[in-house]
Structure 1
Amino acid sequence: MINTLLRVLGHEYAGPVRRTVALMTATALAEGLSYALLVPVLRALFGSTPEDARPWLAAFGAAVAVYAVLRYVSDRSGFRVGTTMLHGMYERLGEHLARLPVGWYQPGRTGEVSVLASQGVLQAMGVIAHLLAPFISACVTPLTIVAVMLAYNWQLGLAGLAAVPLVAAVQLRTARATTATDMERVARERAATGRVIEYLQAQPVLRAGGRTGERFGLLDDSLKELRRASRRSTLSALPGVLGLAVTVQAVFTAVLALGAYLALGGDVGTAEVLAVLVLAARCADPLLSLAEMSGGIRAARAELIRLDDVLSTEPLPEPRVPREPSCHDIEFDAVTFRHGDRVVADGVTLSVPEGGRLAVVGPSGAGKTTLLQLLARFHDVDAGAVRIGGVDVREMDTAALMARIAIVFQDVYLFDGTIEENVRLGRPDATDAEVRAAAAAARLDEVIERLPGGWSTDVGEGGALLSGGERQRVSIARALLKDAPIVLLDEVTSALDPVNEAAVHAGIEELMAGRTVVLVAHRMRTVRRADSVAFLDAGRVVEQGSHEELLRRAGRYAAYWDLSLAGTARD
């Protein structure tokens, strides 16, 4: 497990971790060796001159004091190293997540990583601070005591030594038996957490449908599965717990019987037998605690493996010698992209001249948004190339690529902070005048004027305290402030009321002016502002041309246009 921990954290932590493990091991040895002094103490006490026990008692007290100091130092070292590693883990995980492509963050993945970054990291890093010292003590101290028993009486020592392979076998069998059930329980816990969040988010829909009294079936099923998985996990660990307890008690009983036999036969003194029995009893306590500690360590190791999986995910490769485009025309050259077994883009070839506007339309699932994501390099293409100014986006530095692109998606996410802080994300070093100008161009100033807090109004987590139209205006103002030469728009008005739609359209016109634009259109009236239109279906370009040309062809686009007009008329 230590090797996995160091692989996850990086080997710069190897020295402190190994020093802490060595200190904890020395502490456990000191504890075991201090008990060796019980034999001469008891021998003197039960002998003819009990006063001879005084120097041995003094030595025993000194040994206990040394152990106490070592224990304090090792525990403090464990807490200090654990805290340092926790901080380092958060830094490394944060830096790595920031380098992973945006396309890696699927909806389910985000929740999984959030749980891993909170509960998982704490559990994994808490091993050094809370579990490692007692675990080492439970392993090393009994072995040291057995060595002491061998030194005083080989028969009793061998009887105690017999517990070592038995305990090891029980622990290994328990680990194998519980691994699968532990993994299942963790998976069910995460699924149940997701269902709880879903249930909370579904409250408006449930209440609007008058179904607040009904139990949420998916959540109910998920909790039942979690209960079953927890029961299986507990039952799979139960034989190991019982087996360990029976093994330890059986060995202790054997040592007791052997000691009595040897004492009755005169082969060993009563004081030695009593001392060995005290030592054997001291072995039993840490061994019995192994089951509980092993469960915690296995859980922490499982979290470490999950962390290792995330950290082992390779970010998109960066070019050794980045290239800079001299202009900002866009080209999709026979682009093919697969998501799992599904072909999302199949040989797509499109081009947009610098300052031109391309609208991409088609049915849901046609691959429209995927083209925007490939251009922003959320993913790398499987075949073909996406170029800006004749330069493949894979040959550009990621930061330089993103600096040239402003993206406005339909689903806007705002960070928990003020409106001004969210707008300034577009360009943090912008002046106040530039921020205000971007807000005015996006019609955000109208929103700010009617909010009591003005620019200092808190938007809430995800922008929850603003309406959809208000969030879009913040997003457009942010993109305007960035002032990037390429604009990617994933239809931002499809779910807005007429007032907000008109304001957002005005902001979009400001954003698109003089820039190269790729626009994914769901509402067909936005297509008229494009110089060229591409109709996609099943990841392929079915038709391409201007709006008027495609209408004259009376093909798929024209039928799609007529259908959208009919839907508008019904509205």
Structure 2
Amino acid sequence: MKQLKHDTWVKPYMTKYKGLLALILVLGLVTFICGGALMFTSGYLISKAATKPENILLIYVPVVLVRAFGIGRPVFRYIERLTSHNWVLKVTSDLRKRLYQTLAKDAAFFQQHFKTGDILGILADDLGHLQNLYLRTIFPTLISWLLYVIIVIALGLFNWFFALAIALLLAIIIFILPLVSVAVLGARVERHKQLQQELYTDMTDDVLGLSDWVVSGRQADFLARPQPTLKAARQNTVTTRHFEWRRDFLIQLIFGVVVVVLMIWTNQQFTTNQSLANWIAAFVLCLFPLVDAFAPVSQGVEEWPLYMSSVARLNHLQPVTRELPTQQTLSQPVAMIDFQQIDFKYAPELPQILQHFNLHIAAGEKVAILGPSGTGKTTLLDLLLGELEPQAGQVTINQVPIAALQQQRAQLIGMLDQKPFLFNTTVLNNIRLGNLAASDEAIMAALQAVELGPLMQRLPAGANTVVEEAGARFSGGEQQRLALARILIQDAPIILLDEPTVGLDPITEKALLNTIFNVLADKTVIWVTHHLQGVEHADQVIFLEHGQIVMQGSPHELYRTNERFRKLYQLDQGL
């Protein structure tokens, strides 16, 4: 319960949609009441009909009630399901919107503090767990508690001592066993999750290194490596299932005891005459539908630790709010970009990424930034975007700190990264995201500039063709060209390229780079790349290592004077 004390992802929606929640509980309660009433009137009808009444009118009322409750139970059940799923869809929609806004608001912060897998886990698993938290735990538990109170009060009208006995027996099912389930299965659920993560890691490493296993002739080791983890996971699952079988058997056994107790009590209360004896079957039979109300409580609560883990992860998504300085607007065209004495590390305990880093970029210059992974290439781009703040020094445009230009950032900086996102809408709409005021003619001109004009002519609806989810209709090179057209429409003076040709074949890569630098000839371009393909397009090449610039100059000059650069270039070209 500690996770819910300061929760901002579950409790607020209980209040926001409290009217709908009340309706769900009422409908769920009425569903089980109809089920019990159906068996109650059926039991009375059977007993009364067995005494051969002189007139059908003597059993007409129970006949009508059997029909009414028989129809009412599935109808209310169906409405309750619709209402509860409507609740979940509303809440999930709010949660997804909130999660997107939280992540989009400070993307760089989350890249620093969360692994990509953690974010994907939140998107794929945690929101799904919250759906189950409502549908499988909160709603059934609240309904069972309400029904429990009603049953005890109803029996108390006849005999409070008997009502107390039934209350104690049912309390074992809806209070004691759920608590035992959480205590016993909590560690096993966490263990199962841990084993799944270990298995995922091992299998990923094995598959990515498959060629090494084959070359080394260790096929048997490859097959045997995941077996211990698989065996442990299987054993954990079997142990969990055995506990659930024993618990469910105990629930049925307790219900059997309740039925026997109810039969004994009714025989004592309603056997003084034949008219009263007709109520015995009614009271006993009405108990059986209530199994469906009480039994699922333990099953829903057993995954409580998993739900709380998801709640904790969501509540942990609290980025630090940055206080931006007074915002300014550049009145002059961009003339220079400066990194001045930059010191940066992602956390105090982590190594320094940039140290006393200085770089001056003139307007219209094309700068290629190279270096091993982890040397700060992409970090430089995030610093220029203002997504990250250095611990020392500052990044400026025309001597104005980038932090003071955040409101104008979209007009100053465009970016083409490794996997630009294309939405499931038309080509025109995807390109227009760069400038909502752009005309169709301007967009078509941009598509022509990035050499997609012939492709548009071949598409079924031209530029009105839907690109499909994540741009699935187009190849990787075509997706990058569409994103490049979006940048042209944006018309920002500074363009950042974050390894836009990763995953493309050499021919496509070369053609795309030629197009990029051709259409961006009048822009200031900062290009992060992992190899030297197309480096001749750059005016200046910078090689980062240990937070410092270890090589800098034009590609022609470096090839002529720097032995290391020459070897790297020849290796990259296959010379």
Question: Match of 1:178?
Answer: 185
1:276-287 to 2 correspondences below 5 Å? 278-280=282-284, 282-283=286-287, 285-287=289-291
Give 3-state SS (helix, strand or coil) of 2:375's partner: coil
CA-to-aligned-CA distance 1:226-261 (integer Å, 9 cap, x gap): 64453343233233222222333234434545666x
Give, as a single letter, the amino acid of the residue that structure 2 aligns with 1:162. Answer: L
Q: Hey, what's the Cα distance between the residues in 2 that align with 1:271 and 1:166?
A: 34
Give 3-state SS (helix, strand or coil) of 1:487's partner: strand
1:443-482 to 2 correspondences below 5 Å? 443-445=451-453, 448=456, 455=463, 461-482=469-490
Identity of aligned residues (%): 20
1:243-262 to 2 correspondences below 5 Å? 243-256=250-263
**Residue of structure 1 aligned with 2:107, choices 90, 102, 106:** 102
* Cα displacement (A) at 1:109: 3.7
* Cα displacement (A) at 1:346: 3.5
Question: Match of 1:564?
Answer: 568
Question: Match of 2:150?
Answer: 144
Q: Hey, what's the Cα distance between the residues in 2 that align with 1:299 and 1:509?
A: 55
Give, as a single letter, the amino acid of the residue that structure 2 aligns with 1:102. Answer: A
1:198-217 to 2 correspondences below 5 Å? none
Pair 1:324–1:61, CA change in 2 (3 A): farther
CA-to-aligned-CA distance 1:500-556 (integer Å, 9 cap, x gap): 344323322245434333222333465555555443223x114365348995997xx
Pair 1:298–1:82, CA change in 2 (3 A): farther
Alignment of 1:164 onto 2:170: yes
CA-to-aligned-CA distance 1:165-211 (integer Å, 9 cap, x gap): 43321221123222333455567678889999999x98x999x99x9
Alignment of 1:372 onto 2:375: no
* Cα displacement (A) at 1:366: 1.5
Q: Hey, what's the Cα distance between the residues in 2 that align with 1:463 and 1:379?
A: 29
Question: Match of 1:361?
Answer: 370
* Cα displacement (A) at 1:487: 0.9
Q: Hey, what's the Cα distance between the residues in 2 that align with 1:28 and 1:476?
A: 60
Q: Hey, what's the Cα distance between the residues in 2 that align with 1:67 and 1:335?
A: 74
CA-to-aligned-CA distance 1:57-102 (integer Å, 9 cap, x gap): 8499669958976985686366235315413422441343144133
Provide structure 2 residue ranges, at least 5 long, that are not aligned to the other structure: none
Pair 1:182–1:320, CA change in 2 (3 A): same
Pair 1:24–1:64, CA change in 2 (3 A): farther
Q: Tell me whether 27-36 or 233-242 shows the greater mean CA deviation.
A: 27-36
Instruction: Confirm or deny: 8 A CA contact 1:43 1:272 kept in the other structure.
Output: no
TM-score, L = length of structure 2: 0.74
Q: Hey, what's the Cα distance between the residues in 1 that align with 2:503 and 2:48?
A: 90
Q: Hey, what's the Cα distance between the residues in 1 that align with 2:552 and 2:389?
A: 27
* Cα displacement (A) at 1:477: 2.3
Give 3-state SS (helix, strand or coil) of 1:364's partner: coil
Q: Hey, what's the Cα distance between the residues in 2 that align with 1:404 and 1:535?
A: 25
Pair 1:259–1:286, CA change in 2 (3 A): closer
Pair 1:315–1:511, CA change in 2 (3 A): farther
**Residue of structure 1 aligned with 2:516, choices 508, 516, 539:** 508
Q: Hey, what's the Cα distance between the residues in 2 that align with 1:417 and 1:157?
A: 63
TM-score, L = length of structure 1: 0.74
Question: Match of 2:441?
Answer: 433
Q: Hey, what's the Cα distance between the residues in 1 that align with 2:545 and 2:275?
A: 90
Alignment of 1:536 onto 2:544: yes
1:106-145 to 2 correspondences below 5 Å? 106-109=115-118, 111-116=120-125, 119-120=128-129, 123-124=132-133, 126-127=135-136, 132=139, 136=142, 138-145=144-151
Instruction: Confirm or deny: 8 A CA contact 1:325 1:388 kept in the other structure.
Output: no
Instruction: Confirm or deny: 8 A CA contact 1:337 1:346 kept in the other structure.
Output: yes
Provide structure 1 residue ranges, at least 5 long, that are not aligned to the other structure: none
Instruction: Confirm or deny: 8 A CA contact 2:372 2:544 kept in the other structure.
Output: yes
Pair 1:364–1:88, CA change in 2 (3 A): same
Q: Hey, what's the Cα distance between the residues in 1 that align with 2:159 and 2:277?
A: 9
Q: Hey, what's the Cα distance between the residues in 2 that align with 1:230 and 1:444?
A: 54
**Residue of structure 2 aligned with 1:230, choices 225, 230, 237:** 237
* Cα displacement (A) at 1:488: 0.7
Instruction: Confirm or deny: 8 A CA contact 1:25 1:136 kept in the other structure.
Output: no
Pair 1:396–1:25, CA change in 2 (3 A): farther
1:346-357 to 2 correspondences below 5 Å? 346-347=354-355, 349-353=357-361, 355=363, 356-357=365-366
CA-to-aligned-CA distance 1:139-168 (integer Å, 9 cap, x gap): 444543343333324453343233134332
Pair 1:142–1:521, CA change in 2 (3 A): closer
Give, as a single letter, the amino acid of the residue that structure 2 aligns with 1:163. Answer: L
* Cα displacement (A) at 1:561: 0.6
Instruction: Confirm or deny: 8 A CA contact 1:336 1:382 kept in the other structure.
Output: yes
Alignment of 1:79 onto 2:82: yes
Instruction: Confirm or deny: 8 A CA contact 2:421 2:471 kept in the other structure.
Output: yes
Q: Hey, what's the Cα distance between the residues in 1 that align with 2:560 and 2:292?
A: 82
CA-to-aligned-CA distance 1:3-23 (integer Å, 9 cap, x gap): 977536373212332344356
Give 3-state SS (helix, strand or coil) of 2:488's partner: helix
Instruction: Confirm or deny: 8 A CA contact 1:163 1:247 kept in the other structure.
Output: yes
**Residue of structure 1 aligned with 2:417, choices 409, 414, 436:** 409
Pair 1:42–1:469, CA change in 2 (3 A): closer
Give, as a single letter, the amino acid of the residue that structure 2 aligns with 1:435. Answer: I
Pair 1:413–1:153, CA change in 2 (3 A): closer
Pair 1:549–1:451, CA change in 2 (3 A): closer
Question: Match of 1:324?
Answer: 328
Q: Hey, what's the Cα distance between the residues in 2 that align with 1:403 and 1:310?
A: 33
Give, as a single letter, the amino acid of the residue that structure 1 aligns with 2:180. Answer: R
Q: Hey, what's the Cα distance between the residues in 2 that align with 1:113 and 1:183?
A: 16
Give, as a single letter, the amino acid of the residue that structure 1 aligns with 2:166. Answer: G
Give 3-state SS (helix, strand or coil) of 1:162's partner: helix
Alignment of 1:487 onto 2:492: no
Give, as a single letter, the amino acid of the residue that structure 1 aligns with 2:246. Answer: P
Q: Hey, what's the Cα distance between the residues in 1 that align with 2:479 and 2:11?
A: 42
Pair 1:221–1:39, CA change in 2 (3 A): closer
Give, as a single letter, the amino acid of the residue that structure 2 aligns with 1:172. Answer: L
CA RMSD of superposed structures (Å) = 5.3
Q: Hey, what's the Cα distance between the residues in 2 that align with 1:477 and 1:438?
A: 5
Instruction: Confirm or deny: 8 A CA contact 2:29 2:143 kept in the other structure.
Output: yes
Give 3-state SS (helix, strand or coil) of 1:338's partner: coil
Give 3-state SS (helix, strand or coil) of 2:317's partner: coil
How many matched pairs?
555
Give, as a single letter, the amino acid of the residue that structure 2 aligns with 1:433. Answer: E
CA-to-aligned-CA distance 1:447-470 (integer Å, 9 cap, x gap): 556778764666555445544433
Give 3-state SS (helix, strand or coil) of 1:148's partner: helix
CA-to-aligned-CA distance 1:350-391 (integer Å, 9 cap, x gap): 344451444322222212122223433555556655444555
